[in-house]
Amino acid sequence: MRQNFKNVGVLECTEFRKLIRLYNITFWWCHFRVHMLKVPFKRLSLNAGMSKWNPKLTAEQLLVLRDKHTERPHTGAYLLNKNQGIYHCANCDQPLYSSTTKFDSGCGWPSFYQPVNPDVLTYHKDTSLGTVRIEICCSNCDGHLGHVFEGEGWDKLLSIPKDTRHCVNSCSLNFKTAE
């Protein structure tokens, strides 16, 4: 009787070991893909094509402006900024948004309902997350700023003139106070 339990235990251990091996292979493959392929690729890409990018930009700013990444929500320097002035492109210093068009949408990024001038932005179709969004870029340097969303009802909710929300990464902007 003792031998039967021993045999059952050996079989269960063998199956268990196979599962553990499969789990370890899956875990290490995922770990390799995330940490060995993606992170070094992003770090290496920081040095590529630097000629049109401001040398004073931080690594995060380069990843957002050039590689079209997004900063974490509720962490941007200008999210809660209430000062009067103009928001400029962090790369080329082109004026983009006035503080008078900024509003609190609660989305975690600075929101504006219109740019200083329609010609300062370019709009591109973005399907990167499996949905169709409109990407906004600086018309001068083509730096990624964020996305624009329409038809959310902000004009009725906050009595602003346009029902448009320009959701902009803080790190793609520099703020200059009004003189």
Return the half-sphere exposure (C-beta side, CA atoms, 13 A cut-off) of residue 74: 2
CA nearest 173: which of 118, 120, 134? 120
Handedness of CA 88, 92, 94, 96 (dihedral sign): negative
Q: Which of 89, 137, 138, 167 is catalytic?
A: 167
CA nearest 173: which of 60, 67, 74, 55? 60
CA dist 62 and 68 (Å) reads 9
CA dist 140 and 94 (Å) reads 7
111-112: strand order across its sheet? 102-103, 111-112, 164-168, 144-150, 133-138, 121-126
CA nearest 125: which of 97, 150, 147? 147
Q: Is there a catalytic annotation at residue 138?
A: no
CA dist 170 and 34 (Å) reads 26
Q: Which residues are catalytic?
A: 167
